[in-house]
Chain A
């Protein structure tokens, strides 16, 4: 099983670096994964991560992208509530890259 070490702890991941145990996640882990992904975490990046985690906690799945864009638009201003802005934040895609940093499992299927 692939893994990474951070501050003396070992974190198990899948082959693509997604955390196996959701409960392993903390902000340090997120910052570490973001760094691996070459994503420089700003406050706005954290808003996305926090929303993804809240949504996942309730629904056990990442949100449809449109739900995410609308929520971000509400929080950060309407000009930021669109897919393009999310890709500006997370060039690897809001569904895959942002989920990875948020400690969510990788979305499967035709995505």
Chain B
């Protein structure tokens, strides 16, 4: 494994780079093989008539998804998006400008689905779906983290994430898949979670953490598994059972449930909040993965579902669960379906059920990184913008020192961590490092100006990405952590227990 990646120099501010055409053309992810493609219902290898099949698939999708048709037709090449993608800002490769990334598909669309392109392809810059085009698709549609920052600035609201999802779906349909995501989707089907943690390991891990919390707090804080009749089913990313700093947030959730006196359970069958079906644009896979949650909610007879700190999982849960596997009419209608863990903790604070010793976090000056799928593809709570205010309210309730980063880099304009959308894989490390540069630049600024030393967030991918990338920029890895890690540090146990 090479460790000698080139790390961009951080400037005072995020600047538009000089163009470096083709500079990222070499960096494609590992292709999926038969072992991972076949069980997902995709061709096990590239099919012989792949050009024809890809165009047919594109035709089907244009009919099925009217949005895609609009995105193909409506772009006026105004250029508003060109300097908004973190991968373009970090690499200078024009194919990482959102307009140009989409053009890789639009040029094919024009060739096969417009009169001008069919008759005079050269005049309208229409391209055949050939070997070179496919290579570019596989490369650059895996250099998009589907974060949707560009769409915030597009006057027509063109959603590049949806275009990149469609491209990946078309490629899967001809047997050209991405190993990292395909392997993970298989693991969820086979074992129940992205990491492939079997039930005995999960059970042992939770027991270990219970013992750990008892030792450290003196309180018997439970992490129940497969408990029928619990009030709440907690669905959280499996990284919360495995990695630092993710585990810290898991213990934070457990302490909140404990202190509020609300019974809950984790499920070994639905032990994953993440849903990589979304990253590959597959409705069927997304539905099948999410179905495990709906089935377990019924089987365990819970009344509510609460989702842990995972960005794209929250998008899938908040925006798609009901369409995929609803209606959830067997749950308690007094609570939102689903409910985010931040919203859950926030409500308890409003009710006076939780108290905090903010001084426990006095070593930290905290800033908040809004994760893309939470910020731009969902909401939280009952007020517009709740996805921004609720996590920040939790930070302010548990910490004395909080400061936001530059306003162009937070809320709906937040910059991606550089590892989302199924790109959190080591062979794309060069892209991940460069793509993180804009976010790290904004972070470094508040570190220098306000002595910030803690980057709080609510996404498992962002946590893993920053944990790996920040040290490369000379920032300690423990600078990054979950919002519920701060909750965990400050929550007062044993007072006013069970108020609600």
Are A110 and B460 in contact (CB-based, < 8 A)? Answer: yes
Interface 9-mer from B113-121, B142-150, B189-197: B189-197
On whether the beta carbons of B183 and A108 are closer than 8 Å, the reply is yes
> If the complex has contacts A15-B30, A17-B1, A37-B1, are A109 and B195 also in contact, measured as CB distance less than 8 A?
yes
Complex formed: what's the CA distance from A66 to B187 in Å? 23
Nearest chain A CB to B69 CB, angstrom units? 33
With a cutoff of 8 Å between Cβ atoms, the chain B residues found around residue A70 in the complex are 208, 212
When chains A and B are docked, how far (Å) is the Cα of A18 from the Cα of B183?
15
Residues of A within 8 A of B244 (CB): 65-66, 83
Query: Are the CB atoms of A64 and B242 closer together than 8 Å?
Result: yes
Nearest opposing residue in chain B for A14, CB measure? B30
Instruction: Compute how far the CA of A15 lies from the CA of B31 in the bound complex, rounded to whole angstroms.
Output: 10
- CB of B237 closer than 8 Å to a CB of A: yes
Minimum C-beta distance from B436 to chain A (A): 15
- A108-B195 contact in complex given A15-B427, A92-B1, A92-B3, C-beta closer than 8 Å: yes
Mask, A1-33, CB within 8 Å of B = 1, is 000000000000001110000000000000000
Please indicate the chain B residues that have their CB under 8 angstroms from the CB of A110 in the complex: 194, 237-239, 243, 246, 274, 310, 424, 460-461, 463-464
Chain B residues with CB under 8 A of A61: 195-198, 201
CA distance A54 to B480 in the complex (A): 31
Q: Does B247 contact A (CB under 8 A)?
A: yes
Cα-based distance from A58 to B460 in the complex (angstroms): 27
- Measured as residues with beta carbon below 8 angstroms from the partner, the interface class of chain A is 20 to 34
- Nearest CB in chain B: distance from A110 CB, A: 4
B322 interface hit (Cβ, 8 Å)? no
Main secondary structure of the interface of B (DSSP, over half): helix
- A95 CB-CB contact with B under 8 Å: yes
Cβ–Cβ contact A109 & B184, under 8 A:
yes
Chain B nearest CB from A91 CB (Å) reads: 7
In the complex, which residues 39-86 of chain A have their Cβ closer than 8 Å to any Cβ of chain B?
58-67, 70, 83
B1, B212, B246 interface centre (most CB from chain A within 10 Å): B1
Contacts of B152 in A (CB 8 A): none
Chain A min CB distance to B416 (Å):
14
Interface residues of chain B, those whose CB is within 8 Å of chain A, are: 1, 3, 30, 179-180, 183-184, 187, 193-198, 200-201, 204-205, 208-209, 212, 237-239, 241-244, 246-247, 274, 310, 424, 426-427, 460-461, 463-464, 468
Binding site for B on A (CB under 8 A): 15-17, 37-38, 58-67, 70, 83, 91-93, 95-97, 100, 107-111
Besides A67-B205, A110-B243, 14 more A-B contacts (Cβ < 8 Å) are A17-B1, A37-B1, A58-B200, A61-B195, A61-B198, A62-B242, A64-B247, A83-B244, A91-B3, A95-B243, A100-B1, A108-B194, A109-B239, A109-B274
